[in-house]
Amino acid sequence: MLRKLLPREYGFFEIFEEHSRVMVEASQELLSLVSTGVNIETKVKRIKELEHECDTITHRCVDALHRTFITPIDRNDIHRLIGRMDDVVDFIDAAADRIHLYQITEMTPELKSFADILVRSCEALQTAVKGLRNMKASQTVLDACVNVNRYENDADTTLRSALAKLFREEKDPIKIIKLQEIYAHLENASDRCEDVANTVEGIILEHA
Amino acid sequence: MLRKLLPREYGFFEIFEEHSRVMVEASQELLSLVSTGVNIETKVKRIKELEHECDTITHRCVDALHRTFITPIDRNDIHRLIGRMDDVVDFIDAAADRIHLYQITEMTPELKSFADILVRSCEALQTAVKGLRNMKASQTVLDACVNVNRYENDADTTLRSALAKLFREEKDPIKIIKLQEIYAHLENASDRCEDVANTVEGIILEHA
Amino acid sequence: MLRKLLPREYGFFEIFEEHSRVMVEASQELLSLVSTGVNIETKVKRIKELEHECDTITHRCVDALHRTFITPIDRNDIHRLIGRMDDVVDFIDAAADRIHLYQITEMTPELKSFADILVRSCEALQTAVKGLRNMKASQTVLDACVNVNRYENDADTTLRSALAKLFREEKDPIKIIKLQEIYAHLENASDRCEDVANTVEGIILEHA
């Protein structure tokens, strides 16, 4: 019972920061994967490991949430925040996995654009998530959130031009199916980054 | 601080009504697009503008939510409501965008059916959302919610027959991929309309 | 008004148990469908009926939620729980429906693996949901939740090998599109099973 009165020891902020650190690493691995096209299998395996790490962190967060009586942030916001962060890494993993599974060897410039956007989004989210700890609506943190929204617009534009090019240039429907799926995972990852940014922004405004 | 005690000035009801008005307009543009098949580019651009407008309204709503201490409706319901309304317009925009991007010139009767269902759903949602203001469980408002549920069943049926026909008649896999994606966006739009209706119905029953 | 003070009569636990019972039956019908490949139409129709039954149960739950002042479990958890349980059956229905619609006659071993995983997941969820009633964090209930998480990993592995095999062996893109959609519905069903298990686990830990 006493335990329930000591929320601090569960460290939600540490959990978010740890998750965001792994998220950044996963996005960087993906960028390296699609930029170089070498050691694909090793990098895909590494991303899978990072995805498992995030699952563990997420599970620890939900567990802490249910054992903590008074949380420093609204319970639903904690739930949404960790859930969406986890989705980001799940989609990065799915994209990497399919690149390997479908034996995509020719990395399109659009794959690189997506990975680039995701690295910048994840890094901005790491900055944003750090801002939760002191709850100051600092310009740095709010700027990071705004930037993630802008990156998501870039991802939308990238998806549109990637699909336009794919259907214009590729005549093999099976290759189209494969790349369409991979692009969709990447766009979903970016979508979830935006959800994370909006949740962080909301929490900070609420406490400001 | 005083500001936090004056929720009324943020006008959640006005925000919902404004969003539903733009939602109706987007659905009507889509219907016009797939009914006539002319001026496609202009109409797609107009839908994109409406989608941006909805983003702004949604952002204003979430912002108001976090700045308001006491809300007239449960916070999570407000969040769900505006989020799902925004999804409806996002999916309408995605469908319109792909029609243009994939250069679909022959508008199938199923596209028209979907757009027709969406116009009726969005109009019913506009009626439903208006009912939130006085929280009377009026028959008009509850009927509107029930109707949206019925339209979603129609959308399901439309999807099934659209897919059956597509796979029966179309032999070009690339055309199948394109239309399958567009149909999926339209069905998702209708799904989210049902979520909005259920949320409104729930809020009204709770306050009845 | 008095009604609002008598939550017990609405029986959330009975509602969850009833839904889980229908969910198990739907998964069993699906397994029978893909195992035998006979009487497809009858079985698909039966699954559709079960899906409608679940819609009714879900609607009753949401209705009860909004009419009940004090709930035995956090309102958002009730909402999430019934919503995700309903999603499971929706995806099972979608998969069955497409098998019929696309006239899939040759049932792949992967279809059978998926259905098998879903039966085990739904049965474990039935055990887990029963545990909500006494809120004892019994080993049986927690084990059931852990098992569903394990089955979802199996579903992931099944999806990967199903896709690998599909793209390796099948040369007809239209058949690929059809099976890819069915596999996606099945994987989504399993994903939602995991959400249900995590929600149940969370509720039980919170009350322990």
Question: pLDDT of C22-53, one tens digit each?
Answer: 999 999 999 999 999 889 999 999 999 999 99
For the residues of B6-56, what is the DSSP string, one character each?
A: -GGGG-HHHHHHHHHHHHHHHHHHHHHHHHH--SHHHHHHHHHHHHHHHHH
Mutate to test the interface with A, among B77, B91, B174, B182 (most CBs of A within 10 A): B174
Helix/strand/coil for A73: coil
- The beta-carbon neighbor of A176 closest among B76, B97, B177 is B177
Phi and psi torsions of C173, nearest 5°: -60, -30
Find the mean pLDDT for residues C192-205. 90
Q: Would you put residue B138 in left (φ > 0), alpha (ψ -120 to 50) or beta?
A: beta
CA distance B140 to chain C (A): 18
Residues 6+ apart with CB under 8 A from C14: none
The closest alpha carbon to C127, from C154, C145, C152, belongs to C145
Cα–Cα distance, B166 to B160 (Å, whole number): 10
Helix/strand/coil for B68: coil
Measured between beta carbons, which residues in chain B are less than 8 angstroms from residue A206? 66-67
Q: Is the pLDDT of residue A10 over 80?
A: no
Find the mean pLDDT for residues C82-96. 96
The pLDDT value recorded for residue B79 is 87
Angle between helices B12-36 and B40-67 (to 10 degrees): 170
Residues 6+ apart with CB under 8 A from C35: C107, C112, C115
Closest-CA residue of A relative to B59 is A198
Cα–Cα distance, A15 to A6 (Å, whole number): 16
The pLDDT value recorded for residue B123 is 98
Record: contact B205-C76, CB cut-off 8 A: no
What is Dmax (Cα atoms) for chain A? 66
DSSP state of C134: T
- Asked if B193 and B122 touch (Cβ cutoff 8 Å), the reply is yes
Q: Is the pLDDT of residue C4 over 70?
A: no
Q: Is the pLDDT of residue C137 over 70?
A: no
Cα–Cα distance, B127 to B122 (Å, whole number): 9
The pLDDT value recorded for residue A75 is 84
Cα–Cα distance, B27 to B189 (Å, whole number): 10
Phi and psi torsions of B84, nearest 5°: -75, -35
Q: Is the pLDDT of residue C6 over 60?
A: no
The closest alpha carbon to B24, from B109, B176, B175, B148, belongs to B148
- Cβ neighbours, 10 Å, residue B13: 16
Confidence of residue A201 (pLDDT cuts 50, 70, 90): confident
The closest alpha carbon to C22, from C70, C78, C90, C94, belongs to C90
The pLDDT value recorded for residue C70 is 85
Find the mean pLDDT for residues A99-113. 95
Cα–Cα distance, B51 to B59 (Å, whole number): 12
Closest-CA residue of A relative to B69 is A206
Find the mean pLDDT for residues C159-173. 96
Find the mean pLDDT for residues A6-25. 84
Measured between beta carbons, which residues in chain C are less than 8 angstroms from residue B163? 98, 101-102
Helix segments in chain B, DSSP class H: 12-36, 40-67, 75-101, 109-130, 139-169, 173-207
Instruction: Please tell me whether the interface predicted TM-score (ipTM) of this complex is above 0.95.
Output: no
Confidence of residue C181 (pLDDT cuts 50, 70, 90): very high
Measured between beta carbons, which residues in chain C are less than 8 angstroms from residue B167? 101-102, 174, 178
The sign of the CA dihedral C162, C164, C170, C175 is positive
Mutate to test the interface with B, among A145, A163, A194, A199 (most CBs of B within 10 A): A163
- Asked if C50 and C89 touch (Cβ cutoff 8 Å), the reply is yes
Find the mean pLDDT for residues C83-106. 95
Angle between helices A139-169 and B75-101 (to 10 degrees): 30
Find the mean pLDDT for residues A185-199. 95
The pLDDT value recorded for residue B5 is 45
- Counting as contact any 3 or more CB pairs under 8 A, the partners of C are A, B
Q: What tokens appear for B129 in the block?
A: 């959302």
Record: contact B167-C63, CB cut-off 8 A: no
User: pLDDT of chain B along its 208 residues, tens only?
Assistant: 344 444 444 689 999 999 999 999 999 999 999 999 889 999 999 999 999 999 999 989 988 887 888 888 888 889 889 999 999 999 999 999 999 999 998 999 999 999 999 999 999 999 999 999 887 767 888 899 999 999 999 999 999 999 999 999 999 999 999 999 999 999 999 999 999 998 898 888 777 6
Residue in the structure block whose two tokens are 């308001």: B68
> In Å, how far are A94, C96, C166 from A175, measured between CA atoms?
17, 27, 13
The closest alpha carbon to B158, from B194, B96, B97, B109, belongs to B109
Out of B33-37, B192-196, C108-112, C131-135, which region has the weakest mean confidence (pLDDT)? C131-135
Closest-CA residue of C relative to B180 is C177
Mean pLDDT of chain C: 91
Measured between beta carbons, which residues in chain A are less than 8 angstroms from residue C180? 177, 181
Cα–Cα distance, B201 to B205 (Å, whole number): 6
The pLDDT value recorded for residue C3 is 42
Measured between beta carbons, which residues in chain B are less than 8 angstroms from residue C177? 173, 176-177, 180
The pLDDT value recorded for residue A122 is 98
CA torsion C58→C73→C127→C83, rounded to 10°? 30
Confidence of residue A37 (pLDDT cuts 50, 70, 90): confident
Residues 6+ apart with CB under 8 A from A139: none
Q: Is the pLDDT of residue A71 over 90?
A: no
Helix/strand/coil for B1: coil
CA distance C173 to chain A (A): 6
Q: Is the pLDDT of residue A1 over 50?
A: no
**H or E stretch at B107:** none
Q: Is the pLDDT of residue A8 over 60?
A: no
Find the mean pLDDT for residues C85-98. 97
DSSP state of A10: G
* Higher pLDDT pick, A4 / A129: A129
Rg (CA), chain B: 18
Cα–Cα distance, C188 to C152 (Å, whole number): 10
Record: contact B198-C62, CB cut-off 8 A: yes
Mean pLDDT of chain A: 91
A105 CB-contact burial (10 Å; exposed 0-12 / middle 13-18 / buried 19+): exposed
The pLDDT value recorded for residue B135 is 75
Helices (H) and strands (E) in chain C, counts: 6, 0
pLDDT tens-place string over residues C60-81:
998 888 788 788 888 888 988 9
